[in-house]
A and B are shown apart, each in its own frame.
Chain A
Amino acid sequence: MNEMDELKPHSRKLLTIVTEAALEASLCRDLERLGAHGYTITNARGKGSRGKREAGWDSDANIRIDVVCDDATAERISTEMRRRYYDNYAMILLLSDVQVLRPEKF
């Protein structure tokens, strides 16, 4: 691959999940099973339809998971999230188009 190819951007999806910290372990298992090559988790707090979550202590904490993946994987993950978690957990999904420089990582 020459230098020009390396700098050429490729289109991917950025899937952002904001949800309860209690789900972290099971979400990570889901993401790997559904084909995500990686993810980034950050602690989060905020307010939504299920009230304010201030992250003061364990049961009150939120996380934000960012996954960059191809369209099909993003589709699989969002379908599975909707099916398993939407009814009973505080969760939102955001989907956006992003450009990446090293497509083999995603």
Chain B
Amino acid sequence: MDPIILFFMLGLVAGLLKSELRLPSAVYEFVSILLLLSIGLKGGVELALQPFLGLLPDVLVAIVIGLLLPLVAFTVLSRLGGFKRADAASIAAHYGSVSVGTYAVAAAWLTSRGIGFDAHLPLLLVVLEVPAILVGIVLARGIFSDTHWHKVAHEVFLGKGIVLLLGGLLIGWWSDPAALAGIEPLFFDLFKGILAIFLLEMGLIAASRFGSLRQYGIFLLAFGLAMPLFGAVIGAVAGTLMGLSVGGTMLFATLIASASYIAVPAAMRISVPEANPTLSLTASLGITFPFNVLVGIPLYWKLAEAVHAGLPG
């Protein structure tokens, strides 16, 4: 059993038993900043080693998936689930976007097994954050609404996630590799320890969401489990066709399977205020995040292997 998963379960159990344990929000903030920067830096260092233009097709594929996935989710939620338009649009945006925490766990899963993955996955992570947010707002409001797009753009592109991931990527890219050695102990060597603390807190947060799960019932639960599986299949097929390695395909599938809980909630709160945030956060944090971390990641590895064996890469 992987210790970081056990940290997550400790958080879950402590939360469910109503333990007094809580991390100060400044600690959670710091730990998530470190994770975002580490992922960015690592990607940047690797990216520096290869030509940039060759990555454009993959970036385009990511954007297209990020635009289409929320449309699928929206249709399911409003037609089958009977959700109000704003709620369906907001949940759809969460599921079209990605979760950095889930990515970090999957990357650590691969690393601890000595499996490599393609260098530009962190770049695709950044790219995948954005399109679903825009689609979600348009679904809720229509294109010709009075949405203040400059405010939305500010919220989306200057939010903590994008600034730190992209900033880390650029720092890693431009830095003198020899000089990077000085910051490696903090950002690379301690990565799993930081991830463990992050997951402890995520366990506590996920547990605090279980209460509202009872209230919103079986459809949300089914959606929170089915949507990542659907996304993982799309991601695994797309990743294989893009020519990613098996490890890269698994990470891409995990990204598409994951649901945002940082960037999208903040953007939706400002842009689609009538959407109930409890619904989307219960689904993404209370159901999909634990599912992906505990069950999904090993499953997506099997899936990536199977698709690679079945499709010409």
Interface residue ranges, A against B (CB under 8 Å): 20, 22-23, 26, 43, 51, 54-61, 87-89
A57 contact set on B, CB distance < 8 A: 25, 28, 201, 205
CB of B55 closer than 8 Å to a CB of A: no
Interface string of B181-207 (1 = CB under 8 A from A): 000000000000000000001001100
Cβ of B115 under 8 Å from chain A: no
A56 and B266 contact, Cβ closer than 8 Å, known pairs A51-B278, A88-B273, A88-B274: no
Question: A59 to B23, Cβ gap below 8 A?
Answer: no
Over the window 266-277 of chain B, the binary record of Cβ atoms lying under 8 Å from chain A Cβ atoms (1 yes, 0 no) is 100110011001
Provide 7 A-B residue pairs closer than 8 Å at the C-beta atoms, listed in order of the A residue.
Answer: A56-B23, A56-B25, A56-B28, A57-B28, A58-B160, A59-B277, A61-B25
- B interface secondary structure, majority: helix
Residues of A within 8 A of B273 (CB): 87-89
What is the bound-complex CA distance between A51 and B269, given in angstroms?
16
> Once the chains bind, are A56 and B278 in contact (CB under 8 Å)?
no
A20, A26, A56, A89: the one contacting B208 at CB < 8 Å is: A56
Q: A51-B278, A87-B274, A89-B273 are in contact. Are A58 and B23 (CB under 8 A)?
A: no
**Beta-carbon nearest neighbor of A57 in chain B:** B28
Residues of B participating in the A interface, judged by any CB pair closer than 8 Å? 22-23, 25, 28, 160, 201, 204-205, 208, 212, 261-262, 265-266, 269-270, 273-274, 277-278, 281
Residues of B close to A23: CB separation below 8 A: 269-270
Tally the A-B contacts, defined by beta carbons under 8 Å: 43
A56 with B204: CB separation less than 8 A: yes
CB distance from B284 to the nearest CB of A (A): 10
Known: A22-B266, A22-B270, A89-B273. A56 touches B261 (CB 8 A): no
User: Which residues from B are CB-within-8-Å of A88?
Assistant: 273-274
Task: Give the chain A neighbours of B262 by CB distance below 8 A.
Answer: 58-59
The answer for the CA separation of A58 and B160 in the assembled complex, in Å, is: 10
Closest chain B CB from A83 CB (angstroms): 13
